[in-house]
């Protein structure tokens, strides 16, 4: 049975694939960790994105690029994003935050 977040996840995936043609794209619905939160009706997500578009760009610029690609969803369906954005040559399991290492296995 589909969950309420599945349409949002699909829309996020489509927007990010169109904007970045990523080598790796992993999106985790983190809403259960925020039950009872004031904005619980809008989603909390963790995102791992590896794309050539991030090569040579500072972390803040990478985040701005992701926010721009997801702008319509941020206004309606997404409350919080935990973003890990890397260029392909920066991608090693040891370079990932611990919580994202878990989803890669």
Residue 100: pLDDT over 80? no
Question: What would the pLDDT profile of 66-77 be if each residue is shown by its tens digit?
Answer: 999 999 999 888
Query: Can you list the positions of beta strands (E) in 4-105?
Result: 24-29, 43-50, 78-86
Predicted TM-score of the model (pTM):
0.78
Predicted pLDDT of residue 2 = 47
Domains of the chain: 6-103 (3.30.300.90)
Which residues is 41 bridged to in the sheet?
none
């Amino acid at each position: 049975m589909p969950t309420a977040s599945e349409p949002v996840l699909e829309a996020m995936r489509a927007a990010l694939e169109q904007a970045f043609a990523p080598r790796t794209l992993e999106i985790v619905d983190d809403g259960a960790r925020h039950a009872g939160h004031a904005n619980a009706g809008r989603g909390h997500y963790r995102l791992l994105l590896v794309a050539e578009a991030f090569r040579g760009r500072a972390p803040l610029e990478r985040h701005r690029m992701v926010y721009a690609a997801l702008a319509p969803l941020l206004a309606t369906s997404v409350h919080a994003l935990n973003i890990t954005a890397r260029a392909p040559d920066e991608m090693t399991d040891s370079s990932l935050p611990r919580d994202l290492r878990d989803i890669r296995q």
